[in-house]
Amino acid sequence: MTEALHDKGYKRLFSNKVIFRQLIESFVLEDWVQNCDFSQCQRVDKSFVSEHYKETESDLIYQVKFKGSSNAYIFLLTEFQATAPWYMAIRMLNYVGNFYMDWLRDNPQKQDLPPIFPLVLYNGNPKWTAATDFASLLGANHILGKYTPQLHYCLIDESQYDLENLRQMGNLVSTLIIAERCTDIATINQAFLALYDKYDPLGSEEKQPFMDLLNWFIQLILREKVSGDGYQELVNTIYDSKEKVANVLTETLAKYGQNFYVKGREEGLQEGLQKGRQEALLNAARKLLSSMDDVAIAEITGLPAATIAELRRTC
């Protein structure tokens, strides 16, 4: 699937507090979730993803108030690639550290840091296999004991959720996952129409999250077939009846659905092969760091000098 569309679409979707709340309440199985006051959560307008990774991932940060307590932050990282980078825990450690340094600049008088919950949402086809804690990346090299850096992140791997459980959940985020994972047109139609029934009695403002989800899915199927004014019109379309929702889903999926899913599988395969080659070059470069300078490594591997410098900084 096209990463740029996912990036733009996911940011729009999860910038909606209703969709964000459903993601946390339905898929983060932690006791503290029930103490979150989502009515007061606010999105923080900042990003800590480096330019190197912006084509394949996107981040959102929310400030969430706990009932009867202080504020905390939820750092949501969405991954749009075919494979799980084995060193994701390093990236998350870096993002969390950068968040805290930025927070300290904005709050120079504070002495206590706020808690932050690192969360990765992954929509790739292979099961996520990367370690979700930093210490695991060291293997048996825990000779520093308590001085070993510690960080755990929570993972939501869309590929690991059962379709029937998602259907029974029947909310915005479960429908999003069904739309991405399922290739059966009838099942997708049923999921969206069942969701419409839940939101139809509500006012126009309360219905907006459903419209955002439906329009995101339609424009994802159409992809390169709409742009500019047509894209904006599609994103902002309002469907005022169940019949219109059924019609747009049926017509769009019948006309473009097969190509969408076939192309998605082909792109996933090609992306996986490309990522595999890239990982092989990166692994080769890591082995050369101790014996060669950056220029020589770049010449041998063909990797950009900036990538070699980033490897040296993080390894």
Range of the domain at 279: 267-314
Residue 299 lies in a domain: yes
50 lies in some domain? yes
Reported as a single tens digit per residue, the pLDDT across 175-223 is 999 998 887 888 888 999 999 999 988 887 888 999 999 998 888 877 6
Domain end among 160, 193, 226: 160
- pLDDT for position 108: 92
Do 133 and 278 lie in a common domain? no
Domain count, the chain: 2
18 and 154 part of one domain: yes
Write the pLDDT tens digit of every residue in 286-300. 867 876 778 877 776
- What pLDDT, on the 0 to 100 scale, is given for residue 235? 65
Given phi > 0 = left and psi -120 to 50 = alpha, else beta, which region is 223?
A: left
Please tell me whether residues 131 and 272 are part of one structural domain: no
Return the structure tokens found at 250.
Answer: 């049926």
Domain-embedded: residue 291: yes
Radius of gyration of the chain (CA): 21
Whether 23 shows a pLDDT value over 70: the answer reads yes
At residue 311, the pLDDT reads 83
Instruction: Please state which of the ranges 16-25, 50-59, 93-102, 248-257 shows the lowest mean pLDDT.
Output: 50-59
pLDDT of 96 higher than 80:
yes
The answer, yes or no, to whether residue 252 has pLDDT greater than 70, is yes
Q: Is residue 232 part of a domain?
A: no
Together in a domain, 155 and 282: no
pTM for the complete prediction?
0.76
CB contact set of 252 (below 8 Å; sequence gap of 6+): 218, 221, 222
pLDDT for 26 beyond 60: yes
101-129 pLDDT, tens per residue? 999 999 999 989 999 999 999 988 788 99
Burial of 30 (0-12, 13-18, 19+ CB in 10 A): exposed
